[in-house]
Amino acid sequence: MVITVKTLILFTAIFLSSCVNKLHSESVYQSLGGYQKVEEIADNYILEIEKDPVIFEYFKESDVERYRAKVIEHICHHTGGPCEYTGDDMQRVHDGMNITESDFNRGVDLLINAMNTADIPYRVQNRVLAIFAPMRKDIIYRP
């Protein structure tokens, strides 16, 4: 059997196409590494909040165990995992907090730090941020 250059190129294109399709068909949850990584990100995020005096002010009266459970549910659910989010919607959660754009951005930085600490690849971090970015309007300036 003689394989021509044209046939080799065709098989290579099909192979690469299937790799790209697999990458895009994998949920963000799977790309993160599943439930254990979601828990790790949530725990890291809580530690980041505790270390940040500005952001901690928003959470100082929070029930940390409940907050942890809801963050895990939220990340798991919205990234395509098997969890159901049982908390309030983002508007209701953030009503009365009057979070500024600057503090929101600071919170995003803390989430990025949490994902870095969990060794989440940047391309997966970007997919996570793309999921949560539209929620910004439900979080900031909620008097």
Does a structural domain hold residue 39? yes
Task: Tally the domains of the chain.
Answer: 1
Burial 77-93 (b: 16+ CB within 10 A, else e): bbbbbebeeeeeebeee
Is 52 a member of any domain? Answer: yes
- Domain CATH for 47: 1.10.490.10
Q: Is the dihedral of CA 51, 31, 124, 29 positive or negative?
A: negative
What is the arithmetic mean of pLDDT over 35-46?
98
User: What's the domain range around 33?
Assistant: 29-138
Of 12-26, 27-41, 58-72, 120-134, which gets the smallest average pLDDT? 12-26
Please check whether residue 23 lies inside any domain of the structure: no
- Taking the CB of residue 66, how many other CB atoms lie within 10 A of it? 10
Q: How far is CA 86 from the centre of its chain?
A: 17
The alpha carbon of residue 23 and the mean position of all alpha carbons in its chain are separated, in whole angstroms, by: 17
Give the global pTM: 0.81
In a domain, 12, yes or no: no
Phi, psi at residue 24, to the nearest 5°? -80, -20
Average pLDDT over residues 7-33: 63
